[in-house]
Amino acid sequence: MSGTMNGSPPKLDLQFFPQQMLDLHTEIRKHPPLLKLLHDQDNKDVYIQLMEIATYCEIVVIGTFTHQDILDLAEKCTKKLYAMRSSIIIPYAH
């Protein structure tokens, strides 16, 4: 068999993670307590993990979500996590 079906090459359907989820993943890695919380969570379902992240960010989540709602929540969590690790540096005056 040459890898073709009915004389046509097989079609490849590539699906990438949305940028909001990639950004959230990148930001999570900068928060060791959150990483431990997610690691210790028995349920590794992406939605359960996202709810854990939202809880850590003190974002209340209630209701049914569309795909866009999930992406919006991921973006909100990313921004909140970034704000949690950002600090204000005040120059020291001699």
pLDDT of residue 50: 95
Mean pLDDT of 44-58: 94
Say if residue 13's pLDDT is above 80.
Answer: no
Q: Is 37 domain-assigned?
A: yes
Q: Give the CA angle between residues 59, 61, 62 to the nearest 5°.
A: 150
Question: Is 6 part of any domain?
Answer: no
What does the buried/exposed string (b/e) look like for 6-15 if buried means 16 or more CB atoms within 10 Å of the residue's CB?
Answer: eeeeeeeeee
Q: Give 87's pLDDT tier (boundaries 50, 70, 90).
A: low
What is the number of domains present in the chain?
1
Residue 62 covered by a domain: yes
Which tokens is 53 given? 């992240």
Q: Is residue 54 part of a domain?
A: yes
Band (pLDDT 50/70/90 cuts) for residue 54 is very high
DSSP 8-state symbol, 60: -
Q: Is residue 10 part of a domain?
A: no
Residues spanned by the domain of 38: 31-85
Query: What's the pLDDT at 1?
Result: 47
- Asked if 41 and 48 touch (Cβ cutoff 8 Å), the reply is yes
The answer as to whether 12 is a domain residue is: no
